[in-house]
């Protein structure tokens, strides 16, 4: 496949690029600072871009089979500024202008609707504490998800719990429309693995998907 990766210098983004190249895909990595991109390869194009300019992003997404985004706030200040929504908006506009449909982004587990089955007490307490501390992050991601839902794209919002730097295992749980029970952590490399696996999975189109060990 021909894939365009935004946030390609981030923790998940670098893994998407590395695993996509290893799987034989053609990758366009969209970055603001090419020196931070560690992956190399014949099938890798590096596209330096100002993400505030949807028009300049059209070249990066034109003709690709799917766009995968690891974009997100680097800290609470960026989240308060609504960075995830702000960075994703021009990606949506560029895709719509080029008629590119498939988009996978990173969101977060607390964005999933509450489940009928009650989570274990420890998980409920943890979710409550984390949701209060990281409220600006989740508010930003909620705006981003609302804009995905209103877009013309075939989006998937991948919702991990706490991220770790564990190497890729390929072994994790996923749940379309919710979170796997007692979701506590997943490695950035496995989030990337899940996003690549979902790229061609129609069951995940226009859905939030929880991922966790
Ligand atoms: N941390 C957790 O436990 C956790 C849990 C659930 C969900 N999440 C979500 O997962 C996302 C991805 O995680 P991660 O660890 O891969 O994030 P990360 O390493 O912080 O990567 C964020 C990416 O967004 C890009 N970015 C940020 N601000 C930008 C700006 N103003 N202009 C252009 N690009 C910008 C960064 O580019 P540069 O490299 O150029 O800065 C980087 O590529 C997080 O942002 C968060 O929303 C996190």
Interval 151-162: pLDDT, tens? 999 999 999 999
- Predicted confidence at residue 124, as pLDDT, reads 85
Span 53-57, mean pLDDT?
A: 90
Q: Tell me the two tokens of residue 24.
A: 């034989």
Provide the pLDDT for residue 76: 94
Distance, in Å, from the CA atom of 60 to the CA atom of 67, rounded to the nearest integer, reads: 10
- Mean pLDDT, to the nearest integer, of 1-14? 98
pLDDT of residue 188: 98
Adjacent-strand bridge partners of 38: none
71 C-beta closer than 6 A to ligand 1: yes
User: What separation in Å is there between the alpha carbon of 75 and the centre of ligand 1?
Assistant: 8
Q: For residue 20, give the CATH number of its domain.
A: 3.40.50.720
pLDDT at position 5 is 98
pTM, full prediction: 0.96
Among 106, 104, 82, which Cα is nearest to 159's? 106
The closest residue, in CA terms, to atom 48 on ligand 1 is: 163
Split at pLDDT 50, 70, 90, the class of 71 is very high
Number of domains composing the chain? 1
- Displacement of CA 166 from its chain's centroid (Å): 18
From residue 181, how far is each of 27, 30, 53, 197, 204 by CA, in Å?
Answer: 34, 34, 40, 21, 18
> What's the mean pLDDT in 81-90?
96
Q: What is the mean pLDDT of residues 12-40?
A: 96
Quote the mean pLDDT of the chain: 95
3-class SS of residue 155: strand
Cα 178 to averaged position of ligand 1 atoms, centre (Å): 22
**Mind listing the pLDDT tens digit for each residue in 86-143?**
999 999 999 999 999 999 999 999 999 987 678 888 888 888 888 888 999 999 999 9
Task: Give me the long-range contacts of 51-56 (CB less than 8 A, separation at least 24).
Answer: 51/6, 51/87, 51/90, 51/91, 52/86, 52/90, 53/90, 54/89, 54/90, 54/91, 54/93, 54/94, 54/97, 55/94
Q: Does ligand 1 come within 6 angstroms of the Cβ of 48?
A: no
What percentage of the chain reaches a pLDDT higher than 90?
87
Atom of ligand 1 nearest to the CA of 79: 47
Instruction: Output b/e per residue, 72-107; b: 16+ Cβ within 10 A.
Output: bbeeeebbeebbbbbbbbbbbbbbbebebbbbbbbb
Count of residues in the chain: 213
Q: Which residue has a Cα nearest atom 20 of ligand 1?
A: 74
Give yes or no for residue 53 having a pLDDT over 90: no
Amino acid 115: pLDDT: 77
Closest-lying ligand 1 atom to the alpha carbon of residue 73: 45
- Find all residues with CB under 8 Å of 163, minimum gap 6, and list them: 11, 12, 185, 186, 187, 188, 191
Structural domain containing residue 15: 2-212
What is the rounded distance in angstroms from the CA atom of residue 208 to the CA atom of residue 213? 17
């Amino acid at each position: 496949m021909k894939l365009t990766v935004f946030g390609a210098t981030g923790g998940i983004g670098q893994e998407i690029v590395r695993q996509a190249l290893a799987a034989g895909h053609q990758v366009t990595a969209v970055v603001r600072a090419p020196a931070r991109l560690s992956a190399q390869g014949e099938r890798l194009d590096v596209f330096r871009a100002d993400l505030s300019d949807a028009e300049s992003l059209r070249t990066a997404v034109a003709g690709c089979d799917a766009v995968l985004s690891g974009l997100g706030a680097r800290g609470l200040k960026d989240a308060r500024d609504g960075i995830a929504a702000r960075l994703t908006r021009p990606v949506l506009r560029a895709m719509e202008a080029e008629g590119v449909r498939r988009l996978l982004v990173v969101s977060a587990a607390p964005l999933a609707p509450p489940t009928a089955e009650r989570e274990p007490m420890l998980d409920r307490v943890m979710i409550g504490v984390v949701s209060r501390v990281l409220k600006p992050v989740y508010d930003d991601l909620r705006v981003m998800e609302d804009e995905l839902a209103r877009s013309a794209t075939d989006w998937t919002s991948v919702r991990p719990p706490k991220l770790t730097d564990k190497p890729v295992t390929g072994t994790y749980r996923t749940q379309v429309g919710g979170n796997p029970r007692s979701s506590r952590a997943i490695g950035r490399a496995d989030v990337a693995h899940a996003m690549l696996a979902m790229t061609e999975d129609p069951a995940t189109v226009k859905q939030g998907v929880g991922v966790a060990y």
